[in-house]
Structures are given as structure tokens and as C-alpha cells.
Structure 1
Amino acid sequence: MRHVFGADPVRDRGAPRTSSSLGGNSSMKRSLHGRLALAATAAVVAALGLTGCVSQSSGSGSASSGGDHGKGRIAFMMPDLVTARWDQQDKPVFEAEMKKACPDCKVTYYNAKGSPETQLAQTQSAITNGVDAVVLAPIDKNAAINMVNQFHQAGVKVISYATIIDTPNVDYGVTTDIFKIGAQQAQSLVDGLKAKGITSGNLIAINGDPSDAFGPKYKAGAHSVLDKSGFTIAAEYDAKNWDGTTAQSQMDQAITKVGKGNFVGVYAANDQLAGGAIAAMKNAGVDPTTILTTGQDGAVAGLQRIIAGEQYNTINLPIKVFAAKTADLAAAVAKGKPAPTDIVNGTTKTPSGAEIKAYLYDTEVITKENVSNMIVPKGFWPLKDVCTPEYQAACQKANLS
């Protein structure tokens, strides 16, 4: 999800560079059966150090296992490093709010680095070491069911974060209308094209990972708009692991198939994929400022591309708000208290139809016209992080600096 993908670690880790020699990430070869079989060796894996980083706010909560709960021990489990928001936004906001909400709580941070096997091992480690509540953003939607069930059997309260895992053993959800986000992205793309006087033409679609809990819903939402828009999806791909390098390769294929001058827009499911698509366009000699490309997550490089006119939109996920509210929710249930009624504001359903108590948040389409909503004080990012020297001129034109 980042700018044309240099080596700045504050930007996209694992993002594509503008080079035709790039290869994609290696694909996961084990079946779900194989993943779940790793449970038997999880204790060994945990001992080898795959359990993540501990971030303890204060206090001296014991890490012993057992059936006693209410001690304020929380596992915060994020899925990967490819999508930069997990480490750069969700984690610091959650931890900062936890220090305020529960100074004596102990937070252990886990990042599975894109591996369902690692996330399963981390689940086992958290249970073994002792945990009262878990905030879980899963990698694999099916493998996550087993993880939730294991936490439930151990008496751990489960908060399904940013999506709803398909088991009634989830205690609380923190989510939005995922289908709606895909529709928002696509409708903004169609509206933007029509505002330029373009009412038909070829589109290229690069969807998210079909194996996780997000990808298929974004894709369905986008199709609900695009399929009746008058535009034609001339090439479509699913990018495994939400990988920008994969998206770049897929965009290369699409340009070869459709032709350099024969498409008017790109539906990319998030900023990482948008960055890959834009890198491919540049390599092919296509000016990305002439093509409307969607995104999502409000990543720094996505915002920079929007300011520069290379990317058309992104989606504002109000991470500052919902990560903090999730911390307040986790602090309460980890101490054995009722969920705050001002946070749990509705219900949602698992894909199988089980009703889950939830905190539901809204999303916003961001274009150049309202990009300031993503910058402090309204948004997450400091102005200096977005308006770096390379983008000073573009920021001035957008009235940002």
C-alpha cells in the first residue's frame, strides 16, 4: 500500500519496486489440514520464539496458565506486515489507549507475518502462557475458526477484530460493512470517471486475497456496482496475501491482455494493490494520472499518490477511533467486567448466521478533495509524514502545506 515503493521502512514493507525483475512472495503450500495439524507442535514452535513481542503497560500480571481469569492479560494478534496499518496504526493506538484504560493490564502483541501456521502457534502460546481476552485479526478465515474455538475452550474472551470470524464462539466483533466498502470504492470510481465524461470502457480489477475474511466481501461489493455500471471488467485477478508485488505482476498481464490505451480505470482492493498496479503502469509507459485507480486503508503512500494525482481514492478506516474503543472493550472483559454499553452499539452476524454483539464503525471515501481528513488532527497521519520533500509541491497545490 505504499508510494512507488522505495526502502523507507515507515512505508510499505514488502511492497513492489518499479522493476520488471521482481518476483512475488512465495505462496503458502500447506493445506488447512496441515495447518491445523501443527497444533500438536505449537508448544515447540512457541519455544523457538514465534510468539510475538510483549508490550506490557505496567503491573506484574502473572503469565501462568490455568482456568482463572479476570487478571487483565490481553493478546493482541495481528495478521501480517504486508498491510502496514497493523503495525503502524492499530498497534500503537491500541497500546496507547490500553495504558489509559487499564494501567495494570498486560498486553502481548503478536504478528503472524502472513502465516496461518504462525498464528495458530501464537494462539497455543497465548493460551499456555495465560490470557484473559484476545483481539484477533485473522489471516485465514477458516483456520481462524479453530483458533477461536481453542480460545473459547480455554475460557478466553474473543474479540474478532476488523472482521467477523465464522463461529458463534466469538464474544464480540469490531467491524464495519465490508461489502459496503467494496461498493464505496467502486461507486467512487464510476462517479469519478463519469465526472471526466467517461461513461463506458474497460476496467481492470485486482481483488484481495480470496482466502481471508475480507477479500471475497470487498470483491462482491465492488461487483454489485461495477456489473451494472456500463463499464466492462476486461481483466480480473485475486492477489494472494494482498501482496503488492503480485498485483504488479497481475497488472503487467492485464496491460498485455487489454492494451496500454484500452482501459480507463483500475479497481484495486487496497492501497498496497493500488501501488503495485500503478508501478506496473509506469513500467509500461502508462501515465497513472490518466487512469483512475482505487485503494483502501489510508496508507501514507496511498495518500501521497492521491495528492500527486496517481491514485484516485482510498477508504478512511477510522483506526484512531476503533482501535482505541477496542482497547477499552478488551480492558473491561479481560478484567471480568461487562462490556461497556457505549462501545458495543449493535450486533452483526457471522457468515453462518450466528448473531454477535459488536462495535460497528463507519468508513469514508477519500479523494484529493478531502484528503485532509486523513491528517492530524482529523486523521491518524502527521502532516510531515505525508508531505515529505518529494511531495511538498503537490501538497501545496492541495492546500496541505
Structure 2
Amino acid sequence: MNATLRRAVVPTLTAAALALTGAACGKAGGDKKDTAANDKGPASIGLLLPENASSTRYESFDRPFIEAKVKALCADCKVLYSNAEGSAAKQKQQFDTLLTQGVKVIILDAYDADSTRGWVKEAADKGVKVVAYDRLATGPVSAYVSFDNEKVGELQGQALLDALGPKAAESDIVMINGDEADPNAAQFKTGAHKVLDGKIRKVVYEQSGQWNPTVAGQKISAAVTQLGKNGFQAVYSANDGMAGAIITQLKGAGVNVPVGGQDAGLDAIQRIVAGDQAFTVYKAYRPLADYAAEIAVDLAQGKDVKAVASGTVDSSTDKGIPAKLLDAKVVTKANIKDTVIADGLYKASDVCTADYAAACAAAGLK
């Protein structure tokens, strides 16, 4: 988005030896007191992603896309990667390790965004720039790259209304939200409510699934027990990982209602083809990763990031953070070919495995 955007956000290692090699790609700006981070050595960029259990996207898309773009922009730049595997404590260890390794920039997708204030300040004091990726970390980050998350929630809400059709106004729904500590989850929830409230009869059950499929499955089972099999007409799930568990539990209970998610995971696309999931939200990971890599390389080379991060956002700790926010798309059975397949995220053969061949044929995918 090119327009300036201001939205208040309430943010929410296994220690591995990291080798540092390669020639300098450029000189980073910052406090010259920290010679490890600001000398003329290799331009090392840290990449910290949050988890690999509830979503496959980080290992399948974000990491390889970022690594490839950094390499394309700066052949001598080194990317030092770790995944927190769902642990804020592990991610803090990983962050500290990167600082000791003398990285110039850290691309951080915070597992617990609210806990990062001290980490990011420590990095800034050492002259190390932090790019908040996908979710807005607290502390003096140098830039933020993500999607317009409230708009994503609005897309989810509208897609659920579309799935309900003319029955929407008489429908009760269940909402299984993301982790309450995650600022993205709060924005998804806000956006969904903005669209749903007043257009459905009532949200009859709303709980956090904590971005954990097991927890989400437990919550939907509790909803069925509390409300009965006919006590709700649709389910909002904040992401596809939780949606998969929710659909499994609903099938076991003999409940068939529209369920929507987010992330456009391959298994979610297959569930949509099969008619088990109503929709997902596709956030194009390549441009997201490309912009983050471009900003990180610019920072490592001492360049101004505002040519890319032309908008701004506010966090709970800082104002006017340079930001690049992207738009997302709803994916249903009707437009799989024109979205995730047309963009090259998946091939039709990835989706249309033997178990889904008949459903793919019916949907015109081949």
C-alpha cells in the first residue's frame, strides 16, 4: 500500500552454532560502538520464524523465498536462520545468538510480539536493525512488512457470510480465534467482527484456539457439547491449521456447516476442493518475503527503506514505523485455478492427488 497507514497495534534455539562466511555486501548504519555488528565484515542477516506446527507456510514458503531474494540482491550476504518451534523463550535465545554472531539486520516474525521490546532495544543499542515480519514486534523496529491484517479479518467475515448465503441473517456462528497474545490475531478478530456483527443473528461461542490445532479441536468439541449439533450454522477459524482440526471434530460429531480459515495451506486447498472447507485467505508469500528481503538488504547496506516501506504503522511502543502492507485474497473452490495455481504457489498436480482426483475433475482442475 502506498498511502500512509496509521493503525494502533497491541503487539503480542535450540541454540545452534552459526558459521559466518562471505565477503561484505555493504556497510550497515548504526552505532559504531558495536564493532561486531558494524565493521566491514560479511553482511549477515538473521531470519527468525515463529513455529512450524500449526502452519506449514514458514518452512515451505517464507524461509526459502526470503533466502532466495537476499541472495539475488546481495550475492555475498549470509542468511542465518532459526525457527522458534512455538517457544518465545527459544526465540529469545535465537535472537541473542544472532547478536553475538554480529548480524547487521534481523528479520523477526515474533512468536510473542509483546515480549520483544527489550530484545529489539538491545539490538538497536548495538546498531542492529530489526525488520518486523508478518506480525508487529514491540520495541524500536526499523520497518514492518505484513498484510493489512484487519482487512484479512474482513475478508474472512465476508467469505463466511457468502458461504451462508441468504441464511446468514438467521445464523448463529462459532468463532475460534488465534492466540490472544498475537497482535495479528486481534486484528483478524476485529476485522471479522466488523463484517459479521449485525449481519448474522449471533456469535454463540467464541474462544481462542491459540493457533494450536489440538486446542482448536477441543474448543469446537466443547461448542458442540454446549450448543448441540444444530446450535450453530458456521464456524470462523482464524487459520487453516485450526480449521483442519475443527472440521475433523465436526465430522466425528455428525455436524456439517461451513468452516473457513486462512493461509492457503495445501491441505486446506484440498479440503476446499473436496467440499469440507468453505474458503481460505491467500496471502501471497513471495511478495511478502521479497519486500522483507529487500528492506533487510537495504538496511544492511545503509540505504533508506522508505522507497519500499512507504506507509507507516504505530505499535504500542513506537510511532511512525515504516511499513509495507499487502492485500490478500479469498480462495474458494470457484477460484483456486485463478489464485494459488495461477500464481504458482501450487501446481494442479500438487492439489489433485489420487484422493482428490474425482473432486478436482468436478471442480475443473487438471
CA–CA distance in structure 2, aligned partners of residues 137 and 338 of structure 1: 21
Alignment of 1:259-278 (within 5 A): 259-278=228-247
Cα distance, 1:53 vs. partner? 7.2
Alignment of 1:193-212 (within 5 A): 193-195=164-166, 197-212=167-182
With normalisation by structure 1, the TM-score equals 0.81
Give yes or no for the alignment of 1:220 onto 2:190.
yes
Cα distance, 1:377 vs. partner? 4.0
Cα distance, 1:371 vs. partner? 1.4
CA–CA distance in structure 1, aligned partners of residues 168 and 249 of structure 2: 23
CA–CA distance in structure 1, aligned partners of residues 260 and 292 of structure 2: 28
CA–CA distance in structure 2, aligned partners of residues 80 and 145 of structure 1: 20
CA–CA distance in structure 2, aligned partners of residues 298 and 314 of structure 1: 6
Name the structure 1 match of 2:49: 78
Distance 1:373 1:91, change over 3 A: farther
Name the structure 1 match of 2:209: 239
Stretch moving more, 80-89 or 368-377: 368-377
Q: SS of the residue aligned with 1:66?
A: helix
Distance 1:151 1:303, change over 3 A: same
Which residue identity lines up with residue 327 of structure 2 in the other structure? D
Distance 1:365 1:52, change over 3 A: farther
Give yes or no for the alignment of 1:398 onto 2:360.
no
Aligned sequence identity (%): 33
CA–CA distance in structure 1, aligned partners of residues 265 and 18 of structure 2: 23
Cα distance, 1:153 vs. partner? 1.3
Cα distance, 1:200 vs. partner? 1.1
With normalisation by structure 2, the TM-score equals 0.88
Q: Contact 1:65–1:127 (CA<8 Å) still a contact in 2?
A: no
Name the structure 2 match of 1:190: 161
Name the structure 1 match of 2:345: 380
Q: SS of the residue aligned with 2:305?
A: coil
Cα distance, 1:60 vs. partner? 4.9
Distance 1:92 1:207, change over 3 A: same
Q: SS of the residue aligned with 1:375?
A: helix
Distance 1:281 1:53, change over 3 A: farther
Q: Contact 1:123–1:151 (CA<8 Å) still a contact in 2?
A: no
Which residue identity lines up with residue 244 of structure 2 in the other structure? G
CA–CA distance in structure 2, aligned partners of residues 230 and 297 of structure 1: 24
CA deviations on 1:262-312 (whole Å, 9 max, x unpaired) are: 22100100101111110101111223xxx1111001100111111111111
Which residue identity lines up with residue 352 of structure 2 in the other structure? C
Name the structure 2 match of 1:96: 68
CA–CA distance in structure 1, aligned partners of residues 15 and 227 of structure 2: 44
CA–CA distance in structure 2, aligned partners of residues 141 and 320 of structure 1: 23
Name the structure 2 match of 1:26: none
Aligned length: 344
Name the structure 1 match of 2:103: 131
Which residue identity lines up with residue 199 of structure 2 in the other structure? S
Which residue identity lines up with residue 186 of structure 1 in the other structure? G
- In structure 1, stretches of 5+ residues that fail to align are 1-45
Alignment of 1:2-401 (within 5 A): 49-51=14-16, 59-60=22-23, 66-69=36-39, 71-82=42-53, 83-167=55-139, 169-195=140-166, 197-240=167-210, 242-287=211-256, 291-339=257-305, 341=307, 343-352=308-317, 354-401=319-366
CA–CA distance in structure 1, aligned partners of residues 112 and 96 of structure 2: 16
How much is the aligned-residue C-alpha RMSD, in angstroms? 2.2
CA deviations on 1:86-110 (whole Å, 9 max, x unpaired) are: 1111011111112211110000011
Q: Contact 1:298–1:374 (CA<8 Å) still a contact in 2?
A: no
Q: Contact 1:375–1:383 (CA<8 Å) still a contact in 2?
A: no
Which residue identity lines up with residue 189 of structure 1 in the other structure? L
Q: SS of the residue aligned with 1:199?
A: helix
Cα distance, 1:367 vs. partner? 1.1
- In structure 2, stretches of 5+ residues that fail to align are 1-12, 26-33
Cα distance, 1:375 vs. partner? 3.2
